[in-house]
Structure 1
Amino acid sequence: MVNTTDEEAPEAITMVEGVAAIPDGKDSIEDPVDGVSKCSEGNTPSRMPRPVSALSLISQSSGSIWLGAKRTSSCSSSPLSSTCNSMNSFRWTDGSTQGTQGLLWNTNQPDNAHAQTQQCLVALASRSQTIQDQWRWEANRLDDVACGGTVGENGPRAIRAYACGKRA
């Protein structure tokens, strides 16, 4: 599991502007929600690190950044709807961050696709405005993903970093 504290960060983790790159060769994040919640104290949506700050840490032209949020229990098995939408489907896991105003989602997200298994949150960092895999994705926007995602893949949205912050 990738964790940091205010006092120390593992040698393999590089911290810049609140974004930590996942070391090359690491195949997965065992528990991204736990890892991010322990290091993201005090962030608010208006102070969340911008995805572009991660680009200096990753060698690829794009990648996803884990954020410390998890789907709410009332929306855990629901697709995108008027009841479960971009404003109420996720909660911050650090215990201090509040609010969802200002969160900018990719089109038709958070959809909780793949049999309602998308319980975690990422932001896309990219050197271009959009990237294309099976769909078109806007840079600097949010998406819901499965929490047990791998980081060793080579796709344009592979998880390559996670955001951290400190209480002000």
Structure 2
Amino acid sequence: MRLLSLLLISLFGITVVSGFIVGGYGGGRSYSSSSSSEEHGHGHRPPRPRPPHRPRPPSPPPQRDPECEDGWMSFNRTAGRWCVKVFYGGGLAQYNAEELCQGQGATLTGLQTINERVQLANAGRLISNANGGGLAEIWLGATRRAGCNRRTDCTPLNTFQWTDGHTTGTAGMFWPGPEPNSVWFTNWGNQNCLELQVSAADGVAARHGYPHASLDDEHCQKDQARLYACGKLAK
């Protein structure tokens, strides 16, 4: 009898425990540990959208060294590459030659070095010979300094100054004999402009017996110079 009572108590205890587990805490619903927290809005957030792809800006084009136009001589100067060309004018006053240079986007050039002076004179010889030959002069960009009205007022290298805005110094100057002689004409005044003398061939003297590629001061109004030299910075 006692044994039977113990068995009934054991069965009754198991039944109560099972009902407690199945029924939960009296709420009538089962609890599952597999319930996803995403159902309650606490799951992993969706990935943020990536910003739209922006193409990289194109690389700037490589910088090219300034160049002179075809037919223009090129000289390296402190202010940049200097382009020079000698033109045939057929007889021009200095200010007419300057106007023609400005039409080329240039100005009458000075002479920075001995090399520039000789190269311009040689180019002038070729152009002069192609247009009848003989002696010729090239108008340059220079003007007489104030206070240098007579030959004895200033030394030859200090008598003139360059006007192109880029030529400096006196290394490109070469005065023969009595030049610059400052000849004064009543109607024209002093010789305030500058020419480069050109001979017809090697071993032949230029005008007045001066050497090829030498300088001569001249009246700006004189319209017998057949050539002029323009200069400008390379682009």
Letter in 2 for 1:162: Y
Q: RMSD in angstroms over aligned alpha carbons?
A: 3.0
- More moved, 61-70 vs 102-111: 102-111
Per-residue deviation, 1:103: 1.1
* Equivalent residue number for residue 79 of structure 1: 150
| Alignment TM-score, normalising by the size of structure 2 | 0.52
Residue correspondences, number: 142
Q: What TM-score results when the alignment is normalised by the length of structure 1? A: 0.70
Taking only the aligned residue pairs, the percentage that are identical comes to: 27
Which of these residues, 73, 86, 92, is aligned with residue 19 of structure 1? 86
Contact kept? 2:110, 2:142, Cα under 8 Å: no
Work out the CA distance in 1 between the residues paired with 2:175 and 2:111. 18
Pick aligned residue for 1:56 from 122, 126, 151: 126
Question: Which protein, 1 or 2, shows the higher relative CO under an 8 Å CA cutoff with sep ≥ 6?
Answer: 1
- Structure 1's consecutive aligned runs of 4 or more residues displaced over 6 angstroms after TM superposition are none
* 1:85–1:110 Cα contact (<8 Å) kept: no
- Distance 1:162-1:85 versus aligned 2 partners, 3 A rule: same
Which digits, 9 at most, give the CA deviation of each residue in 1:101-149, with x for residues without a partner?
24111211111112551000001111243146xx432221100000011
- SS of the counterpart of 1:121? strand
Counterpart of 2:229 in structure 1 is 163
The 5-angstrom pairing of residues 9-158 of structure 1 reads: 17=73, 18-22=85-89, 24=90, 27-29=91-93, 31-32=95-96, 34-35=98-99, 38-40=106-108, 44-46=112-114, 47-48=116-117, 49-58=119-128, 59=131, 60-75=133-148, 78-81=149-152, 83-115=153-185, 117-128=190-201, 129-131=204-206, 135-151=208-224
